[in-house]
Amino acid sequence: MGTVWFVGAGPGDPDLLTVKGRRLIESAGAILYAGSLVDQAATLYASEGCAVRDSKDMTLEEISAWLIAHAAHGDVVRLQTGDPGLYGALVEMGRALDAAGVEWSVVPGVSSAMASAAAACETLTLPEVTQTVILTRVAGRTPMPPGEDLEALASHHCTLCIYLSITLLHEVQRALRAAGWAEDAPIVVVQKASWPGEEKIVRGTLADIKRRCQDEKIGSQAMIIASPAIGARHWETVARSKLYDPEFSHRFRRAKKDAA
Ligand code: SAH
C-alpha cells in the first residue's frame, strides 16, 4: 500500500515546484493532476510507465476512487495548483482516503498570491503601512461564511489577495468602496503569474482596475491584490524595516552604538 501525496505544483512555472514535490513526481507510480495549470510539471518529470491523468472531468468520488485504486500499487501524487491547502478540496479528498484506510501527506506549494506579488515586484507587508495579509475570495457559487464578506475584511485596510474573483471585479470594487478605500487606492491584477510568455500584469486603481482588465481581456486565472503597500518601490520614502536597522539588536546581530 502506497501513500497519496498531495503536492503543491506552484503557480505554473515548473521551476517553482519544490524539490520535494519534484522528487515525489519522479518516483510516483501514478499522478492525478488538476487541470491545465499543472500538466507541464506532471508530464515533464513523471517517470516512464507512470499513470498520468487529468482530473478536470472527474467528480470528487471519481478522484478519490482513482487515488485509492492506484495507492494499492505504490505511491501516488495528487498534483494541485499553488498550495493544496488553499481552495483545493484537500480535506474532502483526504477524508475519503481516511475512510479507505489510505495514508496521505501534503507537500506545500508556492501559492499564486505569492507568485503574483513576486511577478509584480511588490511586497505584501511594509513597516508602518500594513503588517497583515488576508487571503480570500468573493462569494461566487460558493458562499462566504458569516463575517467573511469582503467589505468586512477590507475594513482592516491591510493587504488583500483575492482568489477566484476576477469575473467579479465589480463586487470587489463595491466592497472596497463600502469599506472606505479611496478611488485612487492601487490594485494590481496578475494573470497566469510565472507562466513563461503568458504572464500579464495590470496595474490600476480602485476606480479603473476593471476597465484596465477588460482592455487586457483578463477574465480568468488571475489574482487581485489590493494593498496600501503596492507601488512602494517608487515612493519617495518608506519606513525602514527593524530587521536591518543598525540601531536595532536581535538574536543574530548587536546594534551598532554609533549607528548613523
Ligand atoms: N491552490 C491555488 C488556488 C486555487 S483557486 C493556489 O494556492 O494558488 C484558483 C485561483 O487561484 C484562480 O482563480 C486565481 O485567482 C488563482 N491562480 C491560480 N494560479 C494562478 C496564476 N498562475 N496566476 C494568478 N492567479 C492564479
The pLDDT tens digits of the residues spanning 75-85 come to 999 999 999 99
Phi, psi of 170, deg, nearest 5: -60, -35
Check residues 258 and 47 and name the one with the higher pLDDT: 47
Instruction: Determine the pLDDT at residue 38.
Output: 67
What is the Cα Rg of the chain in Å?
21
Residue whose CA is at the smallest distance from ligand 1 atom 5: 87
Q: Is the CB of 88 under 6 A from ligand 1?
A: yes
Question: Hey, do 4-107 and 112-233 end up sharing a CATH topology, with the first three levels equal?
Answer: no
pLDDT per residue over 17-60, tens digit each?
Answer: 999 999 999 999 999 998 766 667 777 899 999 999 999 999 99
Residue whose CA is at the smallest distance from ligand 1 atom 11: 163
**Could you tell me the residue ranges of all domains in the chain?**
4-107, 112-233
**Ligand 1 mean position, distance from CA 34 (Å):** 12
pTM, two decimals, is 0.94
Q: Under CATH, what is the fold of the domain 112-233? A: 3.30.950
Amino acid in position 178? A
Q: Under CATH, what is the fold of the domain 4-107? A: Cobalt-precorrin-4 Transmethylase; domain 1 (3.40.1010)
In order of 35, 53, 168, 199, 258, the CA distances from 58 in angstroms are: 10, 10, 26, 28, 65
Largest CA distance in the chain: 67
**7, 25, 8: which is closest to 109 by C-alpha?**
8
**HSE of 184 in the Cβ direction (CA atoms, 13 Å)?**
1
Q: How far apart are CA 117 and CA 225, in angstroms?
A: 8
